[in-house]
Amino acid sequence: QVTMRESGPALVKPTQTLTLTCTFSGFSLTTSGMCVGWVRQPPGKALEWLARIDWDDDEFYTTSLKTRLAISKDTSKNQVVVTMSNVDPMDTATYYCTRIRYLSRAERYYYMDVWGEGTTVTVSS
Amino acid sequence: DIQMTQSPSTLSASVGDRVTITCRASQSVNNWLAWYQQKPGKAPKLLIYKTSNLENGVPSRFSGSGSGTEFTLTISYLQAEDFATYYCQHYNNYLFPFGQGTKLEIK
C-alpha cells in the first residue's frame, strides 16, 4: 500500500523560507518511472502543481514559481523535501505531496495516483 | 503554457442524474488528461487518467472522453457520495496545469 504524508510548519512569517517534507512508503524513488510532486491549494481555490522530482534526479518546477522553489530527495529515508523562499501571505495554502508515475517507458505520460492528506500552511506576521 | 478551463463552475443535480463536466484546453493537446475528485477537507483522488482510463477501484459510472481541445467527465447515475469538486489536469512539456474545478452540488 502506497502512503504519502506531509509535514512542516503550520505558520511561517513573510519573507521566510518554507520547508516541507514528504515521507512516503510502499514504493521506491529509485524505481524507474517513479516521481514525487507537490501541489498546493489556497483556501477555496483550485489546485496548483508546484514541483516534481524523478527517480533519476530530474527536477521540474511550475513556471511562475521556479525561482523560489527547490526540491530534493533522500531515498534512504523515503523523503522528498521542497523549499519555497521569500514566502508571502498569498502562499497560504494546503500543500499536498503526491506520487507521480509514468504510464510506461515507451509513453512518458505522468499522472498523480496517490496523494497525502495535506498540510496547511499560513503565512502571516 | 497551456491553460485548462472547466465548465460549468458549479453544477446542481439530483441522485440518479447523468451529468457531464467539460474541460477545454487553450490549444489542441494530446490525450494526456486526468480527472480528480475532491471532497471538502480531503485530498484529491484520481478517477481517470489518459482521458478515458478508469483508475483501479473507481466505479464504472465514471467515464471520460475527448480529444483536441475538449474533454469530458461523465457520471452516468449520480450517487450521494459523488457530490464533490472535480478537477481536470493535463500533462504536457513537464507541466501539470489544472482546471479551476467544477463543484457538483445536490439540487
Cβ–Cβ gap B91/A63 under 8 Å = no
Q: Which of A39, A60, A103 sits opposite B50 (nearest CB)?
A: A103
Cβ–Cβ gap A49/B36 under 8 Å = no
Residues of A in contact with B92 (CB under 8 A): none
Cβ–Cβ gap A111/B91 under 8 Å = yes
The alpha carbon of residue A96 is apart from the nearest alpha carbon of chain B, in Å, by 8
Rounded Cα distance, B97 and B38, in Å: 16
- For residue A63, is pLDDT > 90? yes
The alpha carbon of residue B44 is apart from the nearest alpha carbon of chain A, in Å, by 7
* Residue B1 pLDDT grade (very low, low, confident, very high; cuts 50, 70, 90): confident
Cβ–Cβ gap B46/A113 under 8 Å = yes
Long-range contacts of A53-59 (CB under 8 A, 24+ apart): A53/A29, A53/A80, A55/A29, A55/A30, A55/A31, A56/A32
CA distances from residue B42 to A80, B33, B97 in whole angstroms, order as listed? 21, 22, 20
Rounded Cα distance, A66 and A29, in Å: 22
Contact between B88 and B9 under an 8 Å Cβ cutoff? The reply is no
Cβ–Cβ gap B34/A48 under 8 Å = no
* Closest residue of chain B to A119, computed from CA coordinates: B43
Q: How many residues does chain B have?
A: 107
Span A2-44, pLDDT tens digits: 999 999 999 999 999 999 999 999 999 999 999 999 999 999 9
Span B31-66, pLDDT tens digits: 999 999 999 999 999 999 999 999 999 999 999 999
Residues of A in contact with B87 (CB under 8 A): 46-47
The alpha carbon of residue B31 is apart from the nearest alpha carbon of chain A, in Å, by 9
Residue A72 pLDDT: 98
- For residue A107, is pLDDT > 90? no
Rounded Cα distance, B89 and B46, in Å: 10
Cβ–Cβ gap B44/A110 under 8 Å = no
Residue B44 pLDDT: 98
Contact between B5 and B54 under an 8 Å Cβ cutoff? The reply is no
| Average pLDDT of chain A to the nearest whole number | 97
